[in-house]
Amino acid sequence: MNDIISGLRVTAATMAVCVAGYTTVILGFAQAVTPATANGSLITQGDGSVIGSRLIAQGFTSPEYVWPRPSAVDYDAAGAGGSNLSPANPELAERALALIAAHGRDGTPIPADLVTASGAGLDPHISLEGALFQVVRVAEARGVEPAAVRAIIDRLAERPGGVFTPAPIVNVLELNLELDAELASPASTE
């Protein structure tokens, strides 16, 4: 009996300090120092409405936008997940074939990230090659020179780990916002 009472007292102490105290300190710190990222790195418009999070992929399908990696959960940011398909599973090839057809660049090898789903299905990035692969379609849909699109992509490309990660990547939502801001969006996309 004494052991149970003792255990309950330690339970109360650890709950108070490690749950209530610890959470409050980190919450206060985060909301005071980095409120934007602490609340999910949301991107808002002038009127305050939320467009999305810079960390969360959106399922772009219109030709004038750069498309993200496929998502096993259809970009559901309230129920994320991967495909969990084994490397030999034929569904991988079926999905890849459909995406290769959708991108419509016969013969040119497609960068692997554009046909593979990420772990959470919400990867906000694609590879630089993956973005450049889509330049022609985006430029055509917007009625601009490919060079204009390519210039924006090159500007936004980043190395996530600096010298440790030689392969540059691009944030798709930020890229598409930039495309809208700098290049005309065709009226035909209603």
Interface of this chain with another protein, residues 103 to 132, rule: CB under 8 A = 107-113, 115-127, 129
Give 145's contacts (C-beta < 8 A, 6+ positions apart). Answer: 139
Task: Report which DSSP code applies to 169.
Answer: E
CB atoms inside a 10 Å sphere around CB 10: 10
Q: What string marks each residue from 37 to 66 as x (binds another protein by CB under 8 A) or -?
A: xxxxxx------xxxxx-xxxxxxxx--x-
Residues 47, 48, 147, 164: which binds another protein (CB under 8 A)? 164
Nearer to another protein by Cβ, of 147 and 190: the residue is 190
Among 88-96, 135-143, 147-155, the segment contacting another protein (CB under 8 A): 88-96
Say whether residue 169 binds another protein (CB under 8 A): yes
Q: How far apart are CA 70 and CA 116, in angstroms?
A: 6
Q: Does 101 bind another protein (CB under 8 A)?
A: no
Using CB atoms within 10 Å of the CB of residue 63, give its burial: 0 to 12 exposed, 13 to 18 middle, 19+ buried: middle
Site membership for another protein, residue 182 (CB under 8 A):
no
Among 81-89, 137-145, 146-154, the segment contacting another protein (CB under 8 A): 81-89
The amino acid present at 127, given as its one-letter code, is S
Radius of gyration for the alpha carbons in the chain, expressed in angstroms and rounded: 22
Of the CA atoms within 13 Å of residue 109, those in its CB half-sphere come to 4
Q: Smallest gap, in angstroms, from Cβ of residue 140 to another protein?
A: 18
| Choices 70-78, 135-143, 148-156; region in contact with another protein by CB under 8 A | 70-78
